[in-house]
Amino acid sequence: MNTDFIRLTDEMINTELFADFHRHQVVTKCHRKINGEWVIIDNPFVEDWGEKEFECLVECLKNTVRTGGVVIGAFDDSKLAGLASAENTFFGSKGQYLELSCIQVTEELRGSGIGKRLFRLICEWAKEKGAERLYISAHSSVESQSFYKAIGCTEAEEYSPEHVEKEPFDCQLEYVL
């Protein structure tokens, strides 16, 4: 597999980019914080993105680029294999965080190392911007949390109230740069 990693411009981001991208995930178990303790619960559902979800993602990614953030695409044989984005707004009690707003790998290439490479590239960008930590409001599925744990993420020292309100079942994580 020969994967190219490219920083995407506003003009490169459109729904056609996702023509062969499969955002599909079968979830059976999720992490939940109950009475201050993390537990794994049964929570079966299927996430399967369609045109509407990708249109929303395109608008979000375009906004990220327009506001000084970064979007990096991973391409395998000219097809989008994965992408990651980070926002350009510092937050936290000491302005220590920049947000990893998106990281996705097409279903058939998960586990190939593309996600880890995308994450490292986002970390390099955030570090160059002066961030001390990357903040991630992450999907609570066991599989997603296993990925974040494997790359060294831990529970966020400070929770962002906006992120918790927007996605109350997400796990609030951070990565020290």
Please tell me the predicted confidence (pLDDT) of residue 1: 66
- The list of the chain residues with pLDDT below 50 reads none
Helix or strand (DSSP H, E) at 143: helix 142-150
Dump the DSSP string for 79-131: EEEEEEEE-S--BSTTS-EEEEEEEEE-GGGTTSSHHHHHHHHHHHHHHHHT-
CB 137 within 8 A of CB 163: yes
CB 43 within 8 A of CB 29: yes
- Phi, psi angle pair for 129, to nearest 5°: -75, -15
Predicted TM-score of the model (pTM):
0.94
CATH number of the domain to which 110 belongs = 3.40.630.30
122-127: long-range contacts, CB 8 A cutoff, minimum separation 24: 122/70, 122/72, 122/84, 122/85, 122/86, 123/175, 123/177, 125/70, 125/72, 125/86, 126/86, 126/98, 126/100, 126/177, 127/177
Query: Domain total for the chain?
Result: 1
What are the CA-CA distances from residue 42 to residues 32, 45, 76, 141 (Å)? 10, 10, 35, 10
Kindly list the strands in the beta sheet with 70-76, ordered across the sheet, starting from the edge strand earlier in the chain.
3-7, 70-76, 79-86, 97-105, 133-138, 171-176, 154-155
Range of the domain at 150: 3-176
